[in-house]
């Protein structure tokens, strides 16, 4: 790509989102190559370093945000105005619906190079309520319709490359997510263990991610119930933004006394959290890549995960367990920490 102006589109430019951490690194990489970069987002909490950030705005309540993002095509004025700003750019990279709608319009109106960076969309059957299932089905339909005029596409795993081809007919190049250099072996996690009141003889399991049904955190809690019967000094730390209020309340009711649930941690300290744990665990049933798994392994930690989706591509140091085998998952944890 020749030096020029690049616009990167993402719905929520936040450290809570793996997609947005990828966007942040991508923006910095393009800066190093001499490009001028602007990130466009509906909301943002990440502070840009060296590149520009334009926040487009959306409703404040979580419920209204979800509806707004799903039916973003109704806000034709914002799509048109933002696309008009993009006519000054050479390339537009969109990381997620509904931002694809802006890229699609800019391509059609101004013939700008439009690249889709595919992170995938979770399976609707993994969600619990009819509303959630319908939401995910519509989200996928709207997403695929926004890709009809892309110039090229990138998928973050072979799994997603095949998914995209099957669902939309679109070919894509596989580019695995880059891992920030902050995540490395030799980091001291003692301060984190102390702050969590984890003793030296206790085994700390760690999970970080959105507290959403497809992440299967409820199953992880059931797995942990089995683990503590065999390893009473085990502790489980769960960190994640409560995406679904009822689901979050259910998780808190399922958690035993050895479970610590935190809604957020300081992003600067995240490498120290990986360093503090003895094992990284995820019971997720759908992942387009799974950035925390890669980050944990970069910090020298072993991983236990279900053998689904992109996990065979990403998990290199740990154990992959047959899908939904709760006892097998618990056995794998016990094997690695006992």
**Residue 16 pLDDT greater than 90, yes or no:** no
Chain center to CA of 80: 28
Q: 3-state DSSP call for residue 260?
A: strand
Could you report the per-residue pLDDT of 99-108, keeping only the tens digit for each? 999 999 999 9
**Residue 260 pLDDT greater than 70, yes or no:** yes
In words, the CATH class of domain 5-174 is: alpha beta
> What pLDDT is stored for residue 221 in this prediction?
98
What mean pLDDT do residues 47-76 have? 96
Could you report the per-residue pLDDT of 196-206, keeping only the tens digit for each? 999 999 999 99
Could you report the per-residue pLDDT of 113-166, keeping only the tens digit for each? 999 999 999 999 998 889 999 999 999 999 999 999 999 999 999 999 999 999
Task: Identify each DSSP E strand in the chain by its residue range.
Answer: 5-13, 36-44, 52-55, 91-94, 113-118, 152-155, 173-174, 203-208, 234-239, 259-262, 279-282, 303-306, 318-321
Task: Identify each DSSP E strand in 45-101 by its residue range.
Answer: 52-55, 91-94
- Which tokens go with 167? 């669902």
What pTM, to 2 d.p., does this model score? 0.94
> What pLDDT is stored for residue 1 in this prediction?
58
Task: Tell me how far apart the alpha carbons of residues 60 and 36 are, in angstroms, rounded to a whole number.
Answer: 30
Could you report the per-residue pLDDT of 213-241, keeping only the tens digit for each? 999 999 999 999 999 999 999 999 999 98
Residue 195: its H or E element: helix 190-195
**Residue 184 pLDDT greater than 70, yes or no:** yes
User: In which band, very low, low, confident or very high, does the pLDDT at 278 lie, cut at 50, 70 and 90?
Assistant: very high
**Residue 257 pLDDT greater than 80, yes or no:** yes
Indicate if the alpha-carbon torsion angle 260, 47, 214, 315 is positive or negative: negative
Number of CB atoms found within 10 A of residue 53's CB: 16
> What pLDDT is stored for residue 128 in this prediction?
84
List where CATH 3.40.50.2000 sits in the chain: 5-174, 190-337
Contact predicate 121/136, CB 8 Å:
yes
CATH topology of domain 190-337: Rossmann fold (3.40.50)
């Amino acid at each position: 790509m020749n030096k020029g102006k690049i616009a990167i589109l993402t719905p929520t430019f936040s450290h809570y989102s793996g997609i947005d951490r990828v966007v942040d690194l991508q923006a910095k990489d393009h800066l190093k190559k001499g490009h001028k970069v602007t990130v466009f987002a509906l909301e943002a909490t990440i502070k840009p370093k060296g590149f520009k950030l334009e926040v487009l705005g959306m409703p404040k309540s979580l419920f209204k945000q979800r509806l707004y993002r799903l039916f973003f095509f109704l806000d034709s004025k914002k799509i048109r105005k933002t696309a008009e700003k993009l006519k000054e750019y050479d390339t537009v990279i969109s990381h997620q619906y509904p931002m694809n709608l802006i890229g699609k319009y800019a391509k059609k109106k101004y013939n700008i190079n439009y690249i889709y960076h595919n992170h995938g969309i979770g399976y609707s059957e993994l969600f619990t309520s009819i509303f959630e299932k319908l939401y995910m089905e519509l989200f996928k339909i709207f997403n695929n319709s926004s890709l009809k005029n892309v110039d090229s596409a990138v998928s973050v795993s072979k799994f997603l490359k095949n998914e995209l081809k099957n669902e939309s007919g679109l070919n894509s190049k596989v580019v695995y997510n880059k891992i920030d250099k902050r995540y490395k072996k030799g980091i001291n996690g003692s301060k984190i263990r102390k702050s969590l009141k984890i003793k030296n003889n206790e085994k700390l399991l760690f999970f970080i991610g959105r507290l959403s049904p497809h992440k299967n955190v409820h199953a992880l809690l059931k797995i942990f119930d089995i683990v503590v019967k065999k390893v009473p000094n085990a502790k489980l730390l769960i960190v994640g933004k409560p995406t679904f209020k009822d689901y979050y309340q259910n998780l808190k009711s399922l958690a035993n006394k050895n479970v610590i649930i935190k809604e957020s941690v300081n992003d600067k300290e995240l490498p120290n959290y990986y360093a503090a744990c003895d094992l990284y665990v995820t019971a997720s049933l759908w992942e387009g890549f799974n950035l925390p798994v890669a980050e944990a392994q970069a910090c020298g930690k072993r991983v236990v995960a279900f053998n689904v989706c992109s996990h065979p591509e990403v998990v290199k140091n740990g154990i992959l367990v047959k899908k939904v085998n709760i006892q097998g998952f618990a056995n794998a944890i016990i094997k690695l920490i006992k």
